[in-house]
Chain A
Amino acid sequence: MKKLLMATAALAIGATSAFAETKIGMITTLSGGGAGLGIDVRDGFMLAIGQSGRDDIEVVIEDDQQKPDIAVQLADKMVQSERVDILTGIIWSNLAMAVIPSVTAQGKFYLSPNAGPSALAGQGCHPNYFNVAWQNDNLHEAAGAYATSAGYSNTFILAPNYPAGQDALTGFKRMFKGELAGEVYTQLGQTDYAAEIAQIRASGADSVFFFLPGGMGISFLKQYADSGVDLPVVGPAFSFDQGILQAVGDAALGVVNTSQWNKDIDNPTNAAFVESFQTEYGRLPSLYASQGFDTANLILSALEKAEVSDADAFREALRAADFDSTRGEFKFGPNHHPIQTIYAREVIKEGDVFTNKIIGVALENHGDVYAADCKM
Chain B
Amino acid sequence: MSTLLIIEQVLNGLQFGVMLFLMAAGLTLIFGVMGLINLAHGSLYMIGAFAAAAVAGATGSFVLALGAALAVAAIAGALIEMTVIRRLYGKAHLDQVLATFALILIFSEGTRWLFGSFPLFLDIPDYLSGPVTLPGAIQYPLYRLTLIAVGLLVGLGLWALIERTRIGIQIRAGENDREMIAALGVDIRLLYTLVFAIGAALAGLAGALVGAIQSVQVGMGEPVLILAFVVIVIGGIGSIKGAFIGALLVGLTDTLGGIFLPELFKLFMEPGAATQTGSALASMAIYILMSLVLIWRPTGLFGARA
Q: How many residues of A contact B (CB 8 A)?
A: 39
- Give bound CA distance, A152 to B282, whole Å: 30
Cβ of A19 within 8 Å of any chain B Cβ, yes or no, is no
**In the complex, which of the residues A39, A198, A215 contacts B217, with contact meaning CB atoms closer than 8 Å?**
A215
Chain A min CB distance to B94 (Å): 21
Cβ of B163 within 8 Å of any chain A Cβ, yes or no, is no
In the complex, the chain A residue whose C-beta lies closest to that of B108 is A31
Chain B min CB distance to A369 (Å): 18
A31-B109, A222-B214 known; A194-B119 Cβ under 8 A? no
A33-B217, A218-B215 known; A247-B121 Cβ under 8 A? yes
Q: When the two chains form their complex, are residues B118 and A36 in contact, meaning their CB atoms are under 8 A apart?
A: yes
Q: When the two chains form their complex, are residues B16 and A185 in contact, meaning their CB atoms are under 8 A apart?
A: no
**In the complex, which of the residues A161, A186, A195, A219 contacts B215, with contact meaning CB atoms closer than 8 Å?**
A219
Which residues of chain A from 246 to 262 have any CB-CB distance to chain B below 8 Å in the complex? 246-249
Question: Which of B71-79, B195-203, B234-242, B271-279 is found at the contact surface with chain A?
Answer: B271-279
Cβ of A226 within 8 Å of any chain B Cβ, yes or no, is yes
Q: When the two chains form their complex, are residues A219 and B214 in contact, meaning their CB atoms are under 8 A apart?
A: yes
Fill in one digit per residue for A188-207: 1 if any B CB lies within 8 Å of its CB, else 0: 01011011001101100000
A185-B276, A247-B215 known; A194-B144 Cβ under 8 A? yes
Cβ of A351 within 8 Å of any chain B Cβ, yes or no, is no
**In the complex, which of the residues A35, A195, A226 contacts B117, with contact meaning CB atoms closer than 8 Å?**
A35
A32-B219, A202-B5, A226-B143 known; A192-B117 Cβ under 8 A? no
- Residues in A with CB closer than 8 Å to B272 are 183
Which residues of chain B from 201 to 223 have any CB-CB distance to chain A below 8 Å in the complex? 210, 212-220, 223
- Residues in B with CB closer than 8 Å to A166 are 276
Cβ of B258 within 8 Å of any chain A Cβ, yes or no, is yes
Chain A min CB distance to B195 (Å): 28
- Give bound CA distance, A55 to B27, whole Å: 52
**In the complex, which of the residues A189, A194, A215, A218 contacts B16, with contact meaning CB atoms closer than 8 Å?**
A194
In the complex, number of A-B residue pairs with CB atoms less than 8 Å apart = 128
Cβ of B90 within 8 Å of any chain A Cβ, yes or no, is no
Cβ of A348 within 8 Å of any chain B Cβ, yes or no, is no
In the complex, the chain B residue whose C-beta lies closest to that of A201 is B139
Q: When the two chains form their complex, are residues A247 and B117 in contact, meaning their CB atoms are under 8 A apart?
A: no
- Give bound CA distance, A201 to B112, whole Å: 37
A36-B118, A198-B8 known; A183-B213 Cβ under 8 A? no
Q: When the two chains form their complex, are residues A183 and B108 in contact, meaning their CB atoms are under 8 A apart?
A: no
Q: When the two chains form their complex, are residues A184 and B214 in contact, meaning their CB atoms are under 8 A apart?
A: no
Q: When the two chains form their complex, are residues A247 and B120 in contact, meaning their CB atoms are under 8 A apart?
A: yes
Chain A min CB distance to B287 (Å): 13
Cβ of B100 within 8 Å of any chain A Cβ, yes or no, is no
- Residues in A with CB closer than 8 Å to B108 are 31-32
- Residues in B with CB closer than 8 Å to A198 are 5, 8-9, 12, 259
- Residues in A with CB closer than 8 Å to B259 are 195, 198-199
- Residues in B with CB closer than 8 Å to A249 are 121, 123
Given pairs A33-B219, A201-B139, 5 additional interface contacts (CB within 8 A): A31-B108, A187-B279, A194-B141, A216-B215, A223-B213
Chain B interface residues toward A at CB < 8 A = 2, 4-5, 8-9, 12, 15-16, 108-109, 112, 117-121, 123-124, 129-131, 139, 141, 143-144, 210, 212-220, 223, 255, 258-259, 262, 271-272, 275-276, 279-280, 283
Closest 8 CB pairs of A and B: A228-B131, A218-B215, A215-B215, A194-B12, A247-B119, A219-B214, A185-B279, A35-B117
